[in-house]
Amino acid sequence: MLLSAVSHRPASLCRALSYIIVATILLFASGASPSRAHEGHDHGPPPPALPNTSKPRVAVHSDTYELVAVANGARLTFFLDLFADNAPVLDARIEILFGARAFLAIPHSDGTYVAVIAGLDRPGVHPLVFNINHSAGDDLLEGKLEIRAEEVVAGGLKEAPLASVRDAPAQGISIGFAVLVGITMLMGGVLIGRLSGNRGGAAALLVFMLVLSSSDQSHAHEGHPPSPAPSAENLTGEAPRRLSDGSVFLPKPSQRLLTVRTQLAVETEANRAVILPGRIIADPNRAGVVQSVNGGRVAAPAGGFPRLGQRVRAGDILATVVPALPLADQSTLAEKARELEGQMLLNQQRLTRLNRLTTGNVPRSQIDDIELELTTTQRRLDSLRESKVLPEVLVAPIDGVTSASRLVAGQVVQPQDILLQIVDPAGIWVEALAFDQREADAVVSATAQAGPGHRMTLTFEGRGRTLQQQAIVLQFSISDPPPDTVLGSPVTVFARKSAMLTGILLPRDAVIRGSGGETIVWQHVDPERFVARQVRIEPFDGENILITAGIEPGSRVVVHGAELLLQVR
């Protein structure tokens, strides 16, 4: 009925309808091809996921050594470490027994050993015996290396046909779409042929051929070739990673790169310790200050002011202070001087008149009295003049070094200003604050930490009986003060008491904070696997800490590189 209805329309209308159908099919076919790459945009295949498999390996250990051997075909690479501290062993002799044959591992400059063993690349379970000779001790280790069939196919990891897997879905969609468009175009061609003769059918057939020729699913424009698929041979499964149970797989090469070191956990008894804030002070019996009594203008002595750190002896002249008198005092002294000068002039005139008289007319005692009065007045005048210009000499009170100096030539100082501080370097103390009465009692021994690697042994000297800043003051002397100790610098005091605790003593670097804020240590459970253990700790000193729960004696605990293990994802 449709054909009969259309046949009555004019030929021009049929031709227009034919053009519209052909244009619609062309537009639909050109936009339906999946994933064309526009200019500047390369729609290459996504990279495959990293494989989680590792190369075939065997890991064995004894009480002395830990050995990991990684196979790559017939080539076997060895990593030999000490079992206790995970330190690499670089100069050992390793002999491998495989079947009835013996092979010698060759040491390399990177700290590994390599041996090529014929027949090791065959699938199956291969028993191996390792004979180790070293100055740390000789040992014999046994292990089994399993080589799977799929690992032999690709010489390591089996490679998947990434390109075929990638292209199969797109090709199926493209072919199905081309068939659908072709059927539609054939139906349109039949309709057009009935309306306008064979020319419309030929046009439809031409469009169908164009669609089939353009059915490729991915085209790249000029200058942008298709992205090649990444090869699985370039991907490795030897990278550090977090395993499903929360432990960390860290291959031996990564352990050596991060310098991972361990320590055997040994249970011990230790005194309970408390942490107190403190600061460095000087021994009051071996320190002194230099002050001016009268004040005035500072002047340098003949040898100049002492430098910081310069050693001085008791009695050495360090500076002089010229007194500076106020204007009122200067007027009083000037008036007093003029008065004394007048008395001297008057007595001098009296003495001259008496000397003119005839001898015997004036008693000798009267002349002697006037001469004595003249001498006394002259001395008073000289003393008055000297008090105005005689400088005050500042000397060192003790033997030591100058630890602080506030001397500047021409500086005007007030009485009791501290100008110099002299300290004996061998007399350094620590002053700590205890905010709890119980922390200040029964102190057996103590140590102080002024920074990384600055540990000082302390001896308890005494405690205060008066609260200062709501705390009790404790004073300790440093047994052997470091030469670079600075007065006033803050320290952390670890005061050990008589109460005893049982636990495992480890370096402070072994204990870290987990992602949830918990206190953890890393246990070396396998040659290439580490497990985080939550522990309970007690303070001990500035370099060590006491583990009271969470780790068993005999475990290997990471003491260097623990923070880096926490970053593995």
- What is the mean predicted confidence (pLDDT) over 25-34? 45
Confidence class for position 389, pLDDT limits 50, 70, 90: low
> What pLDDT was estimated at residue 194?
52
pLDDT, greater one: 189 or 35: 189
CATH of 57-153 given 1.10.357, 1.10.260, 2.120.10, 2.60.40: 2.60.40
d(CA 16, CA 258): 77
Q: Which two tokens stand for residue 499?
A: 């109460």
The pLDDT of residue 352: 83
pLDDT at 33: 43
Residue in the structure block whose two tokens are 């008395």: 343
Distance, C-alpha 569 to centroid of its chain: 19
CA distance 385 to 14: 137
* DSSP string of 179-245, one letter each residue: HHHHHHHHHHHHHHHHHHTHHHHHHHHHHHHHHHHT--S--B-TT-PPPPPPPGGG--S-S-EE-TT
Task: Name the band, by pLDDT with cuts 50, 70 and 90, for residue 550.
Answer: very high
Domain ranges of the chain: 2-46+161-232, 57-153, 261-282+427-565, 324-390
- pLDDT tens for residues 281-301? 999 899 999 999 888 889 999
- Is residue 124 within 8 A of residue 104, CB to CB? The reply is no
Topology (CATH) of 261-282+427-565: Elongation Factor Tu (Ef-tu); domain 3 (2.40.30)
Q: Which of 463, 85, 137 is nearest to 263 (CA)?
A: 85
Concatenate the DSSP letters of all residues of 119-162 into one string.
Answer: TTTSSEEEEEEEEEE-TT--EEEEEEEEE-HHHHHTTSSPPP-H
pLDDT tens column, 203-213: 444 444 444 44
Confidence bin at 188 (pLDDT 50/70/90): low
| For residues 108-116, average pLDDT | 93
Q: What percent of the chain has pLDDT over 70?
A: 73
**Longest CA–CA separation in the chain, Å:** 185
Percent of the chain whose pLDDT exceeds 90: 40
* H/E segment holding residue 503: strand 490-507
3 in helix, strand or coil? helix
Looking at residue 37, its pLDDT comes to 47
User: How many of the other CB atoms lie within 10 Å of CB of 558?
Assistant: 26
| Global confidence as pTM | 0.60
Contacting residues for 221 by C-beta, under 8 A, at least 6 apart: 37, 38, 39
Confidence of residue 36 (pLDDT cuts 50, 70, 90): very low
Most confident of 213-227, 384-398, 525-539: 525-539
pLDDT for 223 equals 44
Going by pLDDT thresholds of 50, 70 and 90, the confidence category of residue 382 is confident
Per-residue pLDDT, 474 = 92
C-beta separation of 524 from 84 below 8 A: no
Phi, psi of 294 (to 5 degrees): -100, -25
For the record, the structure tokens of 186 come out as: 């054939």
CA pair distance 437, 105, nearest whole angstrom: 65
pLDDT tens profile 334-381: 788 888 888 888 888 888 877 777 566 777 778 888 888 888 888 888
Q: So what's the pLDDT on residue 422? A: 93
Tens of pLDDT, residues 64-100: 999 999 998 889 999 999 999 999 999 999 999 998 8
User: Greater confidence, 199 or 268?
Assistant: 268
User: How does pLDDT run across 448-459, given as a tens digit for each residue?
Assistant: 988 777 888 999
CA distances from 126 to 97, 99, 145, 238 (A): 11, 9, 5, 22
Residue 158's pLDDT is: 45
Determine the residue type at 68: V
555 pLDDT exceeds 70? Answer: yes
